[in-house]
Chains A and B, each alone.
Chain A
Amino acid sequence: EIVLTQSPGTLSLSPGERATLSCRASQSVSSTYLAWYQQKPGQAPRLLISGASSRATGIPDRFSGSGSGTDFTLTISRLEPEDFAVYYCQQYGSSSMTFGQGTRLEIK
């Protein structure tokens, strides 16, 4: 099973700042099979990025994804108040899916 490790666990930033979230895999993952989700309190996760770098429908362009192999990054270029939430990466491989443990993005 591929383990995804997200860092940092918590990221404290102010609106307007840039956020960089990391997702590291225990073995190589095809970029096609890497996704990012946003989850706000009391809500289901929402797909942000699929295929490592493709924004889902309706996702603002301040969200971007990059990476390959074992290292992937979600970047939020300029934080809006509504962006403070928990973010998860997810991978698919060998008919199984795993999630990272999440990064909590909080207002500083």
Chain B
Amino acid sequence: QLHLQESGPGLVKPLETLSLTCTVSGGSVATYYWSWIRQPAGEGLEWIGRRSPSGSTDYNPSLKSRVSMSVDTSKNQFSLKLNSVTAADTAVYYCAHWNYWWFDPWGPGTLVTVSS
């Protein structure tokens, strides 16, 4: 049974790079599809992107120019980088397993605030 846990800085300065890691247990990060999703406070869910076992990626068109995703098989982790952040990127960030056509399970989420 997969279990996911996000980690990373809770505070990022404007125009810097947001970097988050999702540690996977119960399965190999190299075997599955992974996604990042975010949720600003009091708002809905926004899909950020996904990475396949082969390394191919699909990103939300609205974020594509600033996003990258990668895996570290030695640590069984999945990572997100979002460049040139602004206050609009302040949100709870979730990692999730992309299972066929839906997200399951999800990590508990981590709050990232963009502020100087």
Contact A50 B58 (CB under 8 A): no
Residues of A within 8 A of B105 (CB): 47
How far does the alpha carbon of A88 sit from the alpha carbon of B44 in the complex, in Å? 8
Q: Which of under 10, 10 to 19, 20 to 34, or 35 or more describes the interface residues of B?
A: 20 to 34
A99 touches B47 (CB 8 A): yes
A99 close to B45 (CB less than 8 A): yes
Instruction: Provide the bound-state CA to CA distance between A35 and B107, in Å.
Output: 18
Interface string of B8-50 (1 = CB under 8 A from A): 0000000000000000000000000001000000001111001
Please count the residue pairs between chain A and chain B whose beta carbons lie under 8 angstroms apart in the complex.
52
A35 and B58 in contact, given A43-B108, A99-B44 (Cβ under 8 angstroms): no
Partner of A45, one of B45, B100, B101: B45
Nearest chain B residue, comparing its CB with the CB of A96: B58
User: CA A56 – CA B105 in complex, angstroms?
Assistant: 11
CB-based contact B102/A90 at 8 Å: yes
Minimum CB distance partner of B57 in chain A: A95
Q: Given A1-B61, A51-B101, A96-B58, A46–B106 Cβ distance below 8 Å?
A: yes
Complex Cα gap A90–B61 (Å):
17
Looking at the complex, which one of B45, B102, B107 makes contact with A50 (CB distance below 8 Å)?
Answer: B102
List 6 tightest A-B contacts by C-beta distance, closest first: A35-B102, A44-B106, A47-B104, A99-B45, A95-B58, A92-B101
